[in-house]
Amino acid sequence: MVQPGVSALGKKYSTTFFPLKSASETFLPVSSNRLKSGALSLISIARYFYRKGPVQVILLLLVLAGVLPAQRKRVQSGPRATALVVLSPDGQTAPRLIPICIRDNDQFWDASVYQATPRPMALEPGTVYEVERTGKSLGFFTVQRASQQGGRWTASGRWEPRTRSAAAASPEDDERPVLRRAPPAEKPSQPQAQPAPPRTSDEDADRPPLKRGKPSGEEPEPEPQATAPVTPSAQQLVPAISDASGPDPRPYTVDLNADAQARLRDLGSSLAQQAALKHAAAPPGTRVELKNPAFHYFDLDVTNTPQVVISAVATLIPPGARGRKPAPPSDYLVTLVARENVSGDVNPVYTRVIPARHAELDGKLELLDAVDVDGDGRGELLFRRFIGRDVSYLVVKVGLSQATILYDSGH
């Protein structure tokens, strides 16, 4: 649906992240800081079948053979665009779209500048994005008009909520634009973003076209712009994907009862407290209190093994020294991602700790949602980062034993 061009102009992604010295960011192996949750282990199941006999073992191997190849699904080569759609709950403010990144030629690029002429190709009129909340399709956003706001490109467009009849429509009834893959191009020698030169009419003729379901011959009429300001608390930021050849959306929610949620919440809180103590090199006897903790539960790889994301302010209260006044408490911002493995252990795979007083310099993370950014059928975590008045976006892929930064618009 979204049609990147041939030459890559955006920011090249990197899986290496260099935080400031006052922040710590770790991608932990599965062997560190494990906490037992008591879940049933596949290893114990295998041992059980082994005692039963060879026939049961063969049946177990056949089941696993059907599960494991799904985890090795090859990532789509793209192009695939990820964006955020801003919706207002009251529906009185026109929706708009914020481009985040494009995956093309097995690399990620900044969608707000990728193949800009000067309008980014992610905001071509008529481009359709499927809006998803935690992998569940909510509807479609069709780009109608792109404009710059505060130095960054956004687009207004038509929002069409998904209905039951539309969800049950056959593929033949789908009249959304279909993307034709651009031919391979040489990669730029410099990884840094360069200004996009203006294109001539001859160059525009070489841009890979979008095939429309209902060609009209005219650019769609833009919807009127809303004049009423929208406060951040009234906005809903929902991820959206534009990709004609990628997998269908699938939900990344996990069905946990109250006891399972309480167990993950307790274990995750303990891991967040340990991370704050380790970062601060706190002396023995230091107490940790988590303020305003937020817990989000996902099943990102659709294996029914939950992951939990914890965001909290950790207040460290040092022990009182004899004859001395206790040191004042210190606050740290903690973001931690942990997952439960097949053995029932809960392991931290991504941890970020920064002093609260340095939030304006190091950046505060806000989890937006889980979305399939790279097109492999599994969800990634999409964060928004605030550094002063600047906003950037971070995509974290959670693996079995560690996490990887797929895209960081701030680096």
Q: What is the pLDDT of residues 52-80, one digit of tens each?
A: 455 554 554 554 444 444 444 444 556 89
* pLDDT digit string, tens, across residues 309-324: 999 999 999 887 555 5
* pLDDT digit string, tens, across residues 157-210: 999 998 754 444 444 444 444 443 333 444 444 444 444 444 444 444 444 433
Mean residue pLDDT of the chain comes to 74
Which contiguous run of DSSP H or E holds residue 261? helix 258-280
* pLDDT digit string, tens, across residues 349-374: 999 999 999 988 888 999 999 999 99
Does the pLDDT of residue 17 top 70, yes or no?
Answer: no
pLDDT of residue 61: 52
How far is it, in rounded angstroms, from Cα 183 to Cα 180?
Answer: 9
pLDDT of residue 181: 37
Paired with 131 in beta bridges are 139, 240
Does the pLDDT of residue 245 top 90, yes or no?
Answer: no
**Residue 239's closest CA among 371, 383, 385, 367?**
371
285 CB burial (10 A radius; 0-12, 13-18, 19+): exposed
Strand order in the sheet with 403-408: 364-371, 380-387, 390-398, 403-408
How far is it, in rounded angstroms, from Cα 296 to Cα 306?
Answer: 10
- What percent of the chain has pLDDT above 90? 48
pTM summary value: 0.70
| Contact predicate 84/240, CB 8 Å | yes
Which amino acid, 187? K
Domain-wise residue ranges, the chain: 31-40+252-408, 80-242
| Contact predicate 122/139, CB 8 Å | no
How far is it, in rounded angstroms, from Cα 142 to Cα 177?
Answer: 10
Does the pLDDT of residue 228 top 50, yes or no?
Answer: no
Regarding predicted confidence, which is higher, 205 or 411?
A: 411
| Contact predicate 33/347, CB 8 Å | yes
φ/ψ of 264, rounded to 5, equals: -65, -35
DSSP 306: -
**Residue 301's closest CA among 369, 400, 394, 373?**
400
Regarding predicted confidence, which is higher, 122 or 345?
A: 122
How far is it, in rounded angstroms, from Cα 399 to Cα 408?
Answer: 18
| Contact predicate 362/19, CB 8 Å | yes
Does the pLDDT of residue 35 top 70, yes or no?
Answer: no
- What percent of the chain has pLDDT above 70? 62
- Token pair, residue 324, equals 């001395």
Q: Going by DSSP bridges, is the β-strand pair 390-398/210-211 parallel, antiparallel, or unpaired? A: unpaired
* pLDDT digit string, tens, across residues 370-402: 999 999 999 999 999 999 889 999 999 999 889
pLDDT band at residue 261 using 50, 70 and 90 as cut-offs: very high
